[in-house]
Amino acid sequence: MTRTLLLRTAGFSRRIDLATLWRLIAASCLTLLVMLGALSLGTLTLSPQTVIALLWRGGDASLLFIVEQLRLPRVLLAALVGAALAVSGVILQSIIRNPLASPDLLGITSGASAAAVLYLSFFSVLLGPQWLPLAAMLGAGLAALVIYGLAWKQGASPLRLVLIGVGVSALLTAITTFILVFSPLTTTLSAYVWLTGSVYGASWPEPRALAGWLLALVPVLVLLARQVRVQQLDDALAQGIGVRVQWLRAGLLLVSVALAGAAVAWGGAIAFVGLIAPHIAKRLVAPGFVGQALMAALIGANLVILADLVGRTLFLPLDLPAGIFVAALGTPFFLYLLINQRH
């Protein structure tokens, strides 16, 4: 028998599965250990005790600079990017009712990529790099708007969203390649690194800005969270129990786009995180959006942190983009899911 904890106050009640709670606590501890390892390893390897001492009470100025100014912002940015992509994937898989749904497969990441490459190629010299995140988020939003508009026919069904999303994604990928062909050579390399996905050179403004954006989305996500599982029902059945299906689907899609667009804006087009993390989360915790979203966020954070750690430590003196290693893991995982769906 599943053990649960019931929280109840005036106007609010929540049943918490204790097994899920303990697994989330274990995953949180694992994430802290992974972050500590990422702060310790690099060109100059430090012991975990040294890292903790430096962060707690300071110490040698040069070591403190390495940990606090070079490594910590990068690790935090990787964690936030991975968490945002993972939660975006959980939402999309609930909306689409398809385990293969993710931000990069449905065109959201492609829209952000096309807008970002356009900005890097032709506007960054004039306006500066500070507007790149805004360009990427606008691209993601515009792509989602086009997909939803084309899928609308007395409502936007999950099947039409998938088919049109894949088609729009392919078109936007072609547009991105076209822009790169005609872009100045000086910006092509930076655009390719961004398209692969990297948190290289992160400083404190980036994780702070991304954290602020994600915190602003939390109240909206909490408001919609209780109805996410209704999206997994047939539309007619959901409408029969009083749910405004199209409004709910549009709201959830907007939140998913905002999460993925923000992650891509500050971390580049890291693929497959929104596909891998939700599937692992569903195998670790009981059904329910909140538990699965929290677990997926922790798994996504670990994926990107570890991928970045591998990229900057195993190939010294090179510092390879984290997206390479996430894709190396994600491609066989996607094929595995595809074969399972076929059978």
pLDDT, tens digit, 9 for 90 and up, residues 182-208: 877 667 777 777 788 888 888 899 999
- What proportion of the chain, given as a percentage, has pLDDT over 90? 26
Whether the pLDDT of residue 298 is over 90: the answer is yes
Q: What would the two tokens of residue 288 be? A: 């329910």
CATH 2.60.130.10 fits 30-342, yes or no: no
Contact in structure between 281 and 90 (CB atoms under 8 Å): yes
* % residues pLDDT > 70 (the chain): 88
Q: Name the burial class of residue 137, with classes exposed (0-12), middle (13-18) and buried (19+) by CB atoms within 10 angstroms of its CB.
A: buried
- Domains of the chain by residue range: 30-342
Query: Which contacts qualify for 27-34: CB closer than 8 Å, 24 or more apart?
Result: 27/284, 27/295, 27/298, 27/299, 28/298, 30/298, 30/302, 31/79, 31/298, 31/301, 31/302, 31/305, 34/302, 34/305, 34/306
Q: How confident is the model at residue 243 (pLDDT cuts 50, 70, 90)?
A: low
Asked if residues 36 and 52 have their Cβ atoms less than 8 Å apart, the reply is yes
All residues at 6 or more sequence positions from 299 whose CB lies less than 8 Å from its CB, including other chains: 27, 82, 86, 276, 277, 280, 281
pTM for the predicted model, two decimal places: 0.89
Most confident of 63-77, 219-233, 283-297: 63-77
- How many Å apart are CA 172 and CA 264, to the nearest integer? 15
The confidence score (pLDDT) of residue 19 equals 82
Where helices occur in 41-157 by DSSP H, the ranges are 48-57, 61-65, 72-96, 108-122, 124-127, 132-151
Please give the average per-residue pLDDT across 246-259, as a whole number.
83
φ, ψ of residue 12 in degrees (nearest 5): -150, 135
C-alpha dihedral over 335, 338, 340, 343, to 10 degrees? -130
> Do the beta carbons of residue 202 and residue 322 sit within 8 Å?
no
